Amino acid sequence: MSSPDPAGRAPDGEARASRPAGVWPPLLLAIVLEVSATLSLRAVSTGGSWWWLCVIVLGYGGSFWLLGVVLTRGMPVGVAYGIWSAIGVALTALAAAALFAEALSPLSLVGLGVIIAGVLLAELGTRHARGGSGDAS
């Protein structure tokens, strides 16, 4: 006899048919922390204060911990990691262009759009494979 898992889902995975609203806040915060840590790497590499190292450690540590929270709440690892990494790449590239005057060409912007489109297709694909619409009903 099986019991619900720690996230409260039924043993047959029925609750996976839709994303609980509770996965999005920690996922978005994980993305913000990861982007902050990555940008802090750039700040340290250009001779910034050692305080940026604290941001790096806390940012990456917190980001991975929150990604674990998202997985515990039922989001598939491929989808969670895809969203986390794609949005992270896009935000990091845009923020680096704004903060550090790094080049961001029109072709780079198209590439970022393709990455994000790929993640959206992966998310839709997992919903289709489960037979659900992804509605939170």
3-state secondary structure 70-130: HHHCCCCHHHHHHHHHHHHHHHHHHHHHHHHCCCCCHHHHHHHHHHHHHHHHHHHHHHHHH
Say what the pLDDT of residue 10 is.
45
Say what the pLDDT of residue 61 is.
98
**How many angstroms separate the CA atoms of 124 and 128, rounded?**
6
Classify each residue of 27-52 as buried b or exposed e, where b means 16 or more C-beta atoms within 10 Å of its C-beta: beebbbbbbbbbbbbbbeeeeeeeeb
pTM of the model: 0.75
Say what the pLDDT of residue 115 is.
87
Say what the pLDDT of residue 79 is.
86
Say what the pLDDT of residue 4 is.
47
- What are the tens digits of pLDDT across the range 52-76? 999 999 999 999 999 999 999 999 8
- What are the tens digits of pLDDT across the range 67-125? 999 999 999 898 899 889 889 999 999 999 999 999 999 999 999 989 888 888 877 77
30 pLDDT above the threshold of 80:
yes
